[in-house]
Structure 1
Amino acid sequence: MSIVVRDVREHELDSVLALNNAAGPAILPLDSARLRHFYETAEYFRVAERDGTLAGFLIGVGSDADHDSRNFQWFRERYPRFFYIDRVVVASRRRGGGVGRAFYADVQSHAELRYPLVTCEVFLEGVTDPVLLFHGSFGFREVGQRVLVRNGMRAAMLMKELCSYPWVRDTYGGNLPDVPWITTRSVLEAPPAPRSTGTGGP
């Protein structure tokens, strides 16, 4: 059956949290407060549904976000405007079935209307060749590395230039057409994120 990518629903947060914390060392853990903060504030928080069940999720924020991830801050110190993929998780039984590619196609269609760059990181410990190949096939390139203070893991910092953005900016400025596939999800006003459980790592 087809993969449906759509905005997350509040009642799915417990399932999203379980998916995140079962994903293994390549994905930093979350707690319910941090996940709730993402639900209330993240510009992009979408899930994939396949065969009627949750197959994964992706969370992303723009460069102006109040986001305390140090990986996010690393990019902000170097680039004035970008979209940051904080995490993408695919359920183990769905890996290799196209869910990740559906997410990256969808998130790029969101980002390229608003940002010149999309960024993310990949941890280099463990078996990472398929992950690096996956990102390379989408046009990401490494622009640096950093070591997380909390756990000593080394991350490759990846970036992709979005070639459609200059045309969209010059043609529409900040006035994108009001059509459903362009609309940004509504987010709620929320207190600052808890500082003790950073998602992007120290």
Structure 2
Amino acid sequence: MKSMKRTSGDLGSIDASITLQLNNAHVKETSELDLARLNTLLDMACYARGIDQGKTAFLIALDHTAPYQNPNFAWFKSAYQSFVYIDRIVVAESARGQGIARLLYEDLFAAAHRTGTHRIVCEVNSKPPNPASDKFHLAMGFEKVGQAVLYNGAKTVNYFAKNLG
């Protein structure tokens, strides 16, 4: 399996402040970041692409070799040998319903497939609920593979995986 190499069209530190604004406008669905943490995440990412430099939408993913300290990533590391983990995807409210998330996911699937990675994983909040994300992931062919209660019960997530074949 080849590693996924990032390309010049990807998000990087030059885009981080723009991407950070969109991320932090949606902390209920993802989690809050500061600039240093976002740059660290971008440095670890095997895939980090956005629309309008991350102002309209972005997707950040890490492969199974990333040194990421995160309970959801750790769950997937214990369950699977090889995967690409979608850490976060955010689409601005004004751009929803235009197929942008689908476009980013399909691009990620193609990039992962080229490297021989055949499993894409992610988590979706069930507490607080995120029904639009559940519906989207099921429509994209993901299957629920687990669940976890995090942060002393403050958050519950469902774990999803998609095999690319």
TM range (shorter): 0.7 to 0.9
Letter matched to residue 42 of structure 1: A
Identity rate, percent? 33
Runs of 4+ in 1 over 4 A off after TM superposition: none
Match of 1:8 in 2: 11
Shift of 1:53: 8.2
Deviation digits for residues 91-131 of structure 1 (CA, Å, limit 9, x no counterpart): 11111111111111111111122312100000013453321
Paired residues of 2:29 and 2:130 also in contact (CA < 8 A): no
Q: Cα gap change, 1:151/1:59 in structure 2, threshold over 3 Å: closer, same or farther?
A: farther
Q: Superposition pairs for residues 92-111 of structure 1, below 5 Å? A: 92-111=93-112
Paired residues of 2:42 and 2:60 also in contact (CA < 8 A): no
Paired residues of 1:38 and 1:45 also in contact (CA < 8 A): no
Compute the TM-score of the two structures, normalised by the length of structure 1: 0.72
Match of 1:40 in 2: 43
Deviation digits for residues 63-113 of structure 1 (CA, Å, limit 9, x no counterpart): 011111110000000111111000001111111111111111111111122
Q: Cα gap change, 1:117/1:53 in structure 2, threshold over 3 Å: closer, same or farther?
A: closer
Paired residues of 2:128 and 2:155 also in contact (CA < 8 A): no
Structure whose alpha-carbon radius of gyration is higher: 1
Consecutive unaligned residues of structure 2, counting only runs of 5 or more, are 1-8
Shift of 1:148: 1.2
Paired residues of 2:127 and 2:154 also in contact (CA < 8 A): no
Cα separation, 1, equivalents of 2:141 and 2:102: 13
Cα separation, 1, equivalents of 2:74 and 2:54: 34
Cα separation, 2, equivalents of 1:53 and 1:64: 25
Cα separation, 2, equivalents of 1:151 and 1:29: 18
Matched, 1:27 2:30: yes
Letter matched to residue 154 of structure 1: T
Match of 1:143 in 2: 145
What's the C-alpha RMSD, in Å, of the aligned pairs? Answer: 1.8
Letter matched to residue 71 of structure 2: R
Q: Cα gap change, 1:138/1:155 in structure 2, threshold over 3 Å: closer, same or farther?
A: same
Match of 1:82 in 2: 83
- Greater share of helix residues, 1 or 2? 2
Deviation digits for residues 174-199 of structure 1 (CA, Å, limit 9, x no counterpart): xxxxxxxxxxxxxxxxxxxxxxxxxx
Cα separation, 1, equivalents of 2:121 and 2:44: 19
Letter matched to residue 15 of structure 1: I
Q: Secondary structure at the match of 1:112?
A: helix
